[in-house]
Amino acid sequence: MAYLIIIILLLLLIAAQTFIFRKRGLYGVTYEIELSESEVYEGEVLRLTETMSNRKRLFVPWIKVELGATDTLSFGERESVVAPPRRYVPSFYFLRGWQQIVRRWTVRADFFGLQYIDRALVVSTDLLGLVTLTHSLPIWHLLLVLPRLPNWSNLTLAERSLWGEMAVRRHFLPDPFMYEGVREWEPGDSLRHIHWPATAREGKLMAHKLRDSADPGLLILLNLQSRPGSDALATDYTMMRRAVHIAAGCVDQCLGQGVLFQLYCNGQIPPERVALAERALTQGAEAAGGQRSRARQFDLSAPGVVDEIFAAKSSVPMPSKQKTNGSKPKEPMASVMKASASMPPASTSPAKESGTAGEAAAVFSAHIDFNVTGTGISTAMRSGRNHALNILRILAIIDTHKALSFSETLAALPVRDFNADILIITPYVDDFIRDFCFMADAQGRSVKVAMISALYGGEATPEQRNRARHDLRLPAATGIIDAWLLFRNEGKTHDN
């Protein structure tokens, strides 16, 4: 009889703890996650903060949080399971009554592009593993990773002087040798600029109206085709990443030299990438302005949002055991968590491609500005930090797995309308590129070709490289940059 009573008491205890955990186990428990930045450069480290709080007297015996992110984010000392293109990072908690646990992790952005931490699977069980409560939290922390800037101090892409041959609308100092009319003399004008015939005719002091001018800028032509005549999908991902790094380094050099620069590329940018990048930058701007917090907080005790699995602990499905095929994650069930901060709507309209190569359609975005044509994408000819940052953002979200025909991009390029030096970043030189260089050379343009092919540079001897330069059959005035050697000398190839 005594044994029967003990068994009945044990069963009552088990039933009581099961009932209490099911009803009150996650009551007052909140989970908060915060990413310190929304835009970083490739290779930089940022901080991830997780906060788990238990705002009641009853303890929580076991909680597992498994973050789902892109596999190009490294979580420092934390163990993770990689199933390309995803990475799952688990962490475990035991919460006493009225306890808050704050954990800070370092996250490194290994590759440029649009990265994210999209979901967190929260699993909690009772003491005996009879009741399992699961939450699927839509986190969606977006991170725009810009290409790293190579340190090429010995690379001169364009010269800069105070005055040049190209007339511009606005400059920091008027050109004293270029006149475009007369105007009334004003106090502070030099007496050398007085226009005496106009002064005699008007009966008052008149001065020459000076025209602003600047040196020719740099036109960066980025070729994302791996070989001549390849289709849109036949691209070498490693080589294209190197091409993007070279373009980023050129933009940084132009910014340091104070010259105008412009990007033309035969790549493509999906409209959804523009929308996500715009959303990430908008979140970062609002957080920097104090309008909203970077942290996202979830109440795990929200009614009607818990999926209960009455099974053994071993039968709980974990995302790390599932295979992924790169498709969009499935939406959570009807028990999606109710977040205290919802995602802001995207402020970007999809880009439209025009039907002809000569027409361009602008992309409407508050932070990213470029034009889309039938042969690729392009930017305006400008200078300054904001323009450089705009091009780096374009390079970050460009699709390096697809490319349009570079020969068509060159054919549609209005070279006669540009007063700029030209830099071609390409893994090969074919007849189309060769003819383009001769045409630009005939018009007096300074042309440089940055070769990114490993076969051209690599470990070749100087004699072999000179022979390879001769085999390119480019105009004698064309400068050839061995981009492979630039990366090797820098010691940061990042070609994995």
61-117 residue pLDDT tens: 999 999 999 999 999 878 899 999 999 999 999 999 999 999 999 999 999 999 999
Residue 113's region, left for phi above 0, alpha for psi from -120 to 50, else beta, is: left
- The CATH topology of domain 2-146+292-321 is Immunoglobulin-like (2.60.40)
What digits encode the pLDDT tens for the residues 297-324? 888 876 434 333 333 333 333 333 333 3
* Strand 217-222 versus strand 261-265 pairing type: parallel
pLDDT beyond 50 at 325:
no
Q: Is the pLDDT of residue 456 over 50?
A: no
Residue with tokens 């004699």: 463
What is the per-residue pLDDT across 347-358, written as a single tens digit (0 to 9) for each? Answer: 333 344 444 444
Among 327, 364, 332, 333, CA closest to 349: 364
The CA–CA distances, whole Å, from 329 to 13, 69, 299, 408 equal: 40, 11, 22, 37
Q: What percent of the chain has pLDDT over 90?
A: 40
Q: Per DSSP, what are the bridge partners of residue 142?
A: 116
Read off the DSSP letter of residue 407: H
pLDDT at 161: 40
Confidence of residue 334 (pLDDT cuts 50, 70, 90): very low
Q: How distant is the alpha carbon of residue 167 from its chain centre?
A: 34
Q: Per-residue confidence at 34, pLDDT binned at 50, 70, 90?
A: very high
CATH entry, 217-269+351-490, from 1.10.540, 2.60.120, 3.30.9, 3.40.50: 3.40.50
Residue owning tokens 């104090």: 290
What is the C-alpha separation between 432 and 410, in angstroms, rounded?
A: 8
**pLDDT at residue 285, rounded to an integer:** 84
Q: What mean pLDDT comes out for the span 146-162?
A: 63
As a 3-state breakdown, the chain gives helix, strand, coil percent values, each rounded to 5, of: 25, 30, 45
pLDDT tens-digit profile of 232-243? 555 677 788 888
Residue 61, H or E segment: strand 60-70
Region 276-291: what's the mean pLDDT?
Answer: 85
What DSSP state is assigned to residue 163?
A: S
Q: Greater confidence, 201 or 352?
A: 201
Determine the Cα–Cα distance for residues 424 and 440; give it in Å rounded to an integer. 12
- For 339-398, how does the pLDDT look when each residue is reduced to its tens digit (9 = 90+)? 333 333 333 333 444 444 445 566 557 789 999 888 899 999 888 999 999 999 999 999
List the chain domain ranges: 2-146+292-321, 166-213, 217-269+351-490
Round to whole Å and give the CA distance between 367 and 275: 11
pLDDT in tens, 168-198: 444 444 555 556 678 888 877 778 888 898 9
Write out the E strands in 198-287. 206-211, 213-214, 217-222, 261-265
**Could you tell me how many residues make up the chain?**
496
- Please state, in angstroms and rounded to a whole number, the distance separating the CA atoms of residues 220 and 251: 9
Reduced to 3 states (helix: H, G, I; strand: E, B; else coil), residue 149 is coil
The CA radius of gyration of the chain, in Å to the nearest whole number, is 30
Percentage of the chain lying above the pLDDT 70 cut:
73
**Looking at the predicted structure, is the pLDDT value of residue 292 above 50?**
yes
The Cα 87–Cα 117 span in angstroms is 9
Kindly indicate the confidence band of residue 6, based on its pLDDT and cuts at 50, 70 and 90. Answer: very high
